[in-house]
Amino acid sequence: MKKLIFVVFAISFLSVVGCGGGGGGGGAPVVGSNNSTPTSTLKVSESVAAQNFITRQIASPFLDLQNRVSGNLRPSLKSAKILGSSETKVSLGKVRVDFGPDDRVNLFGVTYRYSGGYQDYSFKDIDGNLTENEELIDSLEINSIGLKCSMNDGVDFVDGTLNGKLILKGLFYSASYNLVLQNLTFSGTLNGKDQIVMTSNANVSIDQTSFPYPVNGSFESGTIVFNGHQYNYSASYAGNKFATISLGGAEEVSVTIDLSTGNLAEVYIPQDTPNEDKTLASGYPAIVQSYKNLQKFMEEGTSLSVEQRALNYLKEFSDNFVNANGFPAKTEMGSVTIDRLNRYTINKYAFIPVSHNVIDANTIEVTTYIAVDVSKKPDAVSIVGRIETVLAPNPVITWINEGGSWKITKGLPYLSSELGF
């Protein structure tokens, strides 16, 4: 990874961060303006355009980073002066680029139009001093002031104003980088009908192992106001191409995104938690307690080892437990459970009995709500960083009375394919 090539990339690419930059969509871009008055009242969960915009905002600094850094860009800062219609030297190592009325930048096949405002570019050495010596540059700061921008990727049209600062550090040694967002705020419209204000703050690290993605444990947070609905959001990174965005406030929404494409990998909207079957709770309290035991030993928060948790979990199952095909499966389920606990942090594994059917004195079928939320552990091998799902339809689990103890004998999904992983 060559420092100056990275700097050139950073200027040309990071300049579009905050304007719906990077990835998504397809087809020939059409750039224009939209003067219609937004009237939508949709929430984020109801708007694919909002989900796409939020995804692009967060993924844009990392999109196709590897290809750009190793590409054939000239290692000179002068080659990056491609943006505004005029450029003014403010001081040593600091330039101001004014935009408008119709400056355009094409990146990844999408044209960005800038119609006003300006950006200040500051180049600093490892001591934080401004410099014009390209060999000494360690950080690049881009401060956007009233930057009016729009883009159309063939799917969504974004039009608004950007303010705030983006900082890229670590260019001198090029061993690891820090990407810092300081109150980077976009305020505008989506497709001429939805109003959105998104403010981001972040300090994420990218090292040789995780490149071009943030290291595991990196975190970003901010606020979103969409059509008057207010949200807080957080983005967590796992050291790979997947990231999880969680929104709270007006509603709860969780989105898994692919940082290599800027596309949504999964959208999860929590359903209302159903009420527990009170008749079952009063008539068969041992079964209800068993459900609570299942949840306790699957979820985090216990000091027990993985093997001990799995062993306690299996105590609620009959030795005659069978899988969906009717074959004995308790041993297999034990192995799958241990593997799952080793690979994932179990944020939630909820079991709620919602109704039941008494077959005979020793057999009861319980319709059960099951919600799963797991995150990949840092060194684990798995497909995605986080999985959240509610099984549908609710599984029907069969309980058998074995010598006075109620045990699960069939109906509880445990394979990844059954859980929607």
Q: Where are the domains of the chain?
A: 3-268, 278-419
Q: Which DSSP category does 130 fall into?
A: B
Query: Residue 159 has what pLDDT?
Result: 93
278-419 domain in CATH 3.10.450.50? yes
Please state the pTM of the whole predicted model: 0.60
Distance CA 10, CA 167 (A): 10
Of 173, 230, 246, 148, nearest to 196 (Cα)?
A: 230
Residue 110's contacts (CB-CB under 8 Å, 6 or more residues apart) are: 22, 25, 29, 151, 152, 153
Give the three-class secondary structure for 80.
helix
Q: What is the pLDDT of residue 370?
A: 94
**Among the listed residues 350, 389, 358, 147, the one whose alpha carbon sits nearest the alpha carbon of residue 254:** 389
Q: b/e for 240-258, b at 16 or more Cβ within 10 A? A: bbbbbbbbeebeebbbbbb
Give one DSSP letter per residue of 337-379, joined into a string.
Answer: HHHHHHHEEEEEEEEEEEEEEEEETTEEEEEEEEEEEEEE-TT
Angstrom distances, CA of residue 98 to CA of 86, 132, 321: 5, 20, 70
Structure-block tokens of residue 10: 């950073």
In the chain (421 residues long), the average pLDDT of successive 10-residue segments reads 40 55 38 51 87 84 52 33 61 86 73 88 91 84 91 85 89 79 92 92 85 83 93 87 86 82 68 85 96 91 86 96 95 94 88 96 96 81 68 93 96 87 63
Instruction: Tell me if 3 sits within 8 A of 137, measured CB to CB.
Output: yes
| Cβ partners under 8 Å of residue 331, min gap 6 | none
